Amino acid sequence: MTSAPSSAPPVEVTSEPRLQSIDALRGFDMFWIIRGDSFFKALATWLGVPIVVTQLEHVKWDGFHFYDLIFPLFLFLVGVVLPFSLTKYQTAGELVPNRSGVYARIIRRTLLLIALGLIGNGILQLDFTNFRWPGVLQRIGICYFFAALAVLHLGIRSQALLAIGIIAGYWALLRFVPAPGFQPFDLTMEGSLVGYVDRLLIPGKLHYKLGDNEGVLSTIPAIGTALLGVLTGHWLRSSYTRFHKFLGLCAGAIVCLAAGYLWSFSFPLNKILWTSSFVLVTGGWSLTLLAVFYLLIDVIGWRRWAFFFIVIGMNAITIYVMQNFVDFSKMSEFFLGGVIRYVGQWCTAAGHTEGEKAQRAVLMFGVLTIKWLMLWFLYRHRAFLRV
């Protein structure tokens, strides 16, 4: 966490310009989801850089790779923006009049995110036996809902205590409550309480058969991830100078990373279980990235390089949903088919045996380019999907 509630300066409800670092970091995060990962994996495979390929794949169970940070970083950023968007509805800790509109907006956004997630999972096919109910957008919606309520009804100190309680409480739950037929604190795929509850409560298809990546119990610490973002948002809204805010982000990153990695010796890093150590480590790396983006963009003022990511970040949900329905690979083949064929022929003539991997890299580059140009068109016309 970035600051102690007791020593934080009074939060001012200001009309401070939108922090472009947040939009840019969200865009950087989404870049990997919209096939940035596929492009760099194909390129690294072709060039023979296996460490890049490994870091762009999820760990199967315990452990941590760069790609395991993508989803927690997005949830963290969901929390960061809440103090900017919701604190204005409070005066001296009390909700302003006509607050029903605030609740309606929160509920509408939550339900819309869940609905988009269900549609993306294929609910319209009406095949409920093979349908997967949990998902990324569903978890985002749930975490947004509870984090938003915390911002509206709790002070900063109470929000910090809630985050600590969630992180510690989840550890206690797994430490002392066993799945039937297994020992407490069994964190294996077969014996974890998390997987057992998913099998018990979630109908239809599960992501890894013995449980789900976005299942029931693991959503609880994911709310803690969003609350770490909320606390960071309060810090960014404080009256300190921007450079002092940058130093605070760095300090919070160091504390979270140290605590998370130390805890991981007894409570392993695990994205699927979303362990408490995973919350702290991903929170620490999220703070690190935010500190870098904040320093370069909002403190020093180097903004031009970030435009590429800002275009993506301003319509993150749009592109995430759209790529479920639009075949961007076929578009890339249409525009770059000749280049792809030429690259394959060139590799063969040059004696390279990895021509297909080079062709895939070109294909994925085309997919990325088409998606970005579409988002740039929306950005230029100020068309943003608000959920």
Would you write out the chain's pLDDT as a tens digit for each of its 387 residues? 343 333 333 444 444 567 899 999 999 999 999 989 989 988 888 788 888 889 999 999 999 999 999 999 999 999 999 999 887 776 545 555 566 788 999 999 999 999 999 999 999 999 999 999 999 999 999 999 999 999 999 999 999 999 999 999 999 999 999 999 999 999 999 999 999 999 999 999 999 989 999 999 999 999 999 999 999 999 999 999 999 999 999 999 999 999 999 999 999 999 999 999 999 999 999 999 999 999 999 999 999 999 999 999 999 988 998 888 899 999 999 998 899 888 878 777 766 656 777 888 889 999 999 999 999 999 998 888 766
DSSP code string of 42-84: HHHHHHT-HHHHHHTS--SSBS--GGGGHHHHHHHHHHHHHHH
pLDDT given at position 101: 83
pLDDT value, residue 13? 41
**What is the pLDDT, as a whole number, of residue 7?**
37
Q: Is residue 222 part of a domain?
A: yes
Stretch (H or E) spanning 182: none
Is 299 a domain residue? Answer: yes
Tell whether 339 is covered by a domain: no
Q: What is the pLDDT of residue 325?
A: 86
pLDDT the model gives residue 353: 59
60 within a domain of the structure (yes/no): no
pLDDT at 98: 61
Residue 300's pLDDT is: 95
Structure confidence at residue 17 (pLDDT): 62
Domain span holding position 193 = 5-34+65-330
Q: How far is the C-alpha of 242 from the C-alpha of 294, rounded, in Å?
A: 9
Separation between Cα atoms, residue 40 and residue 23, nearest integer Å: 22
- Look at residue 365 and tell me if it is in a domain: no
- 172 occurs within a structural domain: yes
Enumerate the H helices of the chain as residue ranges.
20-31, 37-47, 50-55, 70-86, 100-121, 136-153, 156-176, 193-201, 219-237, 242-263, 276-293, 307-313, 316-322, 328-349, 355-380
Please state, in angstroms and rounded to a whole number, the distance separating the CA atoms of residues 26 and 70: 10
Asked if the structure places residue 246 within a domain, the reply is yes
| Residue 50 domain-assigned (yes or no) | no
Number of folded domains that form the chain: 1
Structure letter (DSSP) for residue 210 = S
Question: What's the predicted TM-score (pTM) here?
Answer: 0.90
Q: What is the pLDDT of residue 1?
A: 39
Specify the DSSP class assigned to residue 204: B
Q: What is the pLDDT of residue 95?
A: 59
